[in-house]
């Protein structure tokens, strides 16, 4: 579990994150959503220690990350896996060597054990057959899967994903979503995903934090999004015509007092149509 308390970040007097508090649950996909410039990426960088907040607390398992000494902070970082927006693979290394990289740097296991762990991670993302290929020889979706394999190589407790579906087609995006969800549950990790892709939010978002101009505007589940009366959230979520139709259909069905099962079926059908766009 990750607890954030009264987090503030300023850059040269300009408040980018304004008194944000949130709890991110273990074994769940926690999503951070918002428009460009809303503070999502800054917030994520604060959580992993790439940017130091102006004030506030970030607690991992009850321990304040910001109050840790360097040695303790380094140990905690070994429990973190990071999936960067552009995958950030080494062009000169093979797929297997990319996945082995964090093991080579941080693990005390021998070469054979490190290779075995890397192969296990590649098998988990269904890419063991691509182990000897270079990043230039695989697709964008495969690169994301390699990056996920590398992110879980050290068996982290926390997985951070920055726009994991950026630049991918809808079908590949769905596959990456499901992979992140499966890995989160299989390894009982606390996963945080920064995204503006509403398909991803509706597919795998267990807990959703909506940032608007550096402020926590809303938090809740994907089911509660449909019933939200927050205007700023609705403007963001239902920006497309398709999602507006989903919202309208939900309101109509609820107004007619249709049973819950039929309501969910209609929403599910319209969401499935959205995936194919």
pLDDT at 130: 94
* pLDDT of res. 86: 78
Give pLDDT tens digits for 127-184: 999 999 999 999 999 999 999 999 999 999 999 998 888 888 888 889 999 999 999 9
Tokens standing for residue 94: 């093979």
Better-scored residue on pLDDT, 264 or 16? 16
Domain boundaries, the chain: 1-79+157-171+185-221, 91-155, 238-277
Q: How far apart are CA 247 and CA 151, in angstroms?
A: 36
d(CA 55, CA 220): 25
The predicted pLDDT at position 19 comes to 94
pLDDT for residue 224 is more than 60: yes
pLDDT at 57: 95
Quote the CA–CA distance of 152 and 187 in Å, as a whole number: 9
For 117-182, where are the E strands, in sequence order? 158-162
The region that residue 56 occupies, defined by phi over 0 for left and psi between -120 and 50 for alpha, beta otherwise, is: left
Note the pLDDT tens digit of each residue in 240-251: 555 555 555 555
pLDDT recorded at residue 243: 54
| Fold adopted by 1-79+157-171+185-221 | Rossmann fold (3.40.50)
pLDDT of residue 169: 87
Continuous segment of H or E residues that includes residue 160: strand 158-162
pLDDT at 258: 46
Instruction: Check whether 270 has a pLDDT greater than 60.
Output: no
Arithmetic mean of pLDDT over the chain: 86
pLDDT on residue 254: 47
Place of tokens 């490190």: 114
9-45 tens-digit pLDDT: 999 889 999 999 999 999 999 999 998 888 999 999 9
pLDDT band at 276 (very low <50, low <70, confident <90, very high): low
Distances (CA, A) of 18 to 33, 77, 264: 16, 25, 36
User: 3-state class of 29 per DSSP?
Assistant: strand
* Tokens 């982290």 belong to residue: 156
Rounded distance between C-alpha atoms, residue 172 and residue 181, angstroms: 14
22/4 Cα distance (integer angstroms): 5
pTM summary value: 0.81
**Distance between CA 85 and CA 237 in Å, rounded?**
21
> 100 versus 88: which is more confidently predicted?
100
**209 has which bridge partners?**
32, 219
pLDDT digits (tens, 9 = 90+) for 186-204: 999 999 999 888 888 888 9
Band (pLDDT 50/70/90 cuts) for residue 259 is: low
Residue 126 has a CB neighbour count (10 Å cut-off) of: 13
Of the pLDDT bands very low, low, confident and very high (cuts 50, 70, 90), residue 268 is low
Q: Is the pLDDT of residue 238 over 80?
A: no
Q: How confident is the model at residue 112 (pLDDT cuts 50, 70, 90)?
A: very high
Banded pLDDT at 77 (limits 50, 70, 90): confident
Name the residue with higher pLDDT: 7 or 61. Answer: 7
Average pLDDT over residues 75-97: 89
């Amino acid at each position: 579990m990750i607890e954030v308390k009264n987090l503030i970040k300023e850059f040269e007097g300009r408040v980018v994150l304004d008194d944000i508090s949130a709890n991110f649950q273990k074994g769940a996909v926690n999503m951070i959503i918002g428009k460009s410039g809303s503070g999502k990426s800054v917030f994520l960088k604060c959580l992993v220690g790439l940017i130091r907040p102006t004030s506030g607390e970030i607690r991992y398992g009850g321990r304040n990350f910001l109050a840790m000494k360097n040695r303790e902070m380094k140990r905690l970082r070994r429990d973190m896996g990071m999936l960067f927006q552009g995958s950030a693979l080494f062009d000169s290394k093979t797929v297997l060597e990319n996945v082995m990289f964090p093991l080579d740097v941080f693990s005390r296991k021998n070469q054979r054990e490190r290779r075995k762990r890397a192969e296990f991670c590649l098998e988990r993302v269904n890419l063991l057959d691509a182990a000897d290929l270079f990043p230039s020889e695989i697709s964008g979706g495969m690169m994301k899967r390699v990056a996920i394999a590398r992110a879980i190589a050290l068996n982290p407790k926390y997985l951070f994903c920055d726009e994991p579906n950026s630049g991918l087609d809808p079908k590949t995006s769905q596959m990456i979503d499901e992979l992140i969800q499966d890995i989160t549950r299989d390894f009982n990790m606390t996963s945080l995903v920064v995204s503006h892709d509403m398909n991803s939010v509706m597919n795998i978002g267990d807990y959703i934090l909506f940032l608007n101009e550096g402020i926590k505007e809303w938090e809740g589940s994907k089911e509660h999004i449909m019933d939200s009366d927050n205007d700023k959230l609705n403007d963001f979520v239902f920006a497309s015509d398709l999602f507006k139709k989903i919202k309208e259909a939900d309101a109509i069905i609820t107004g007619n007092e249709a049973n819950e099962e039929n309501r969910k079926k209609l929403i599910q059908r319209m969401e499935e149509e959205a995936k194919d766009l």
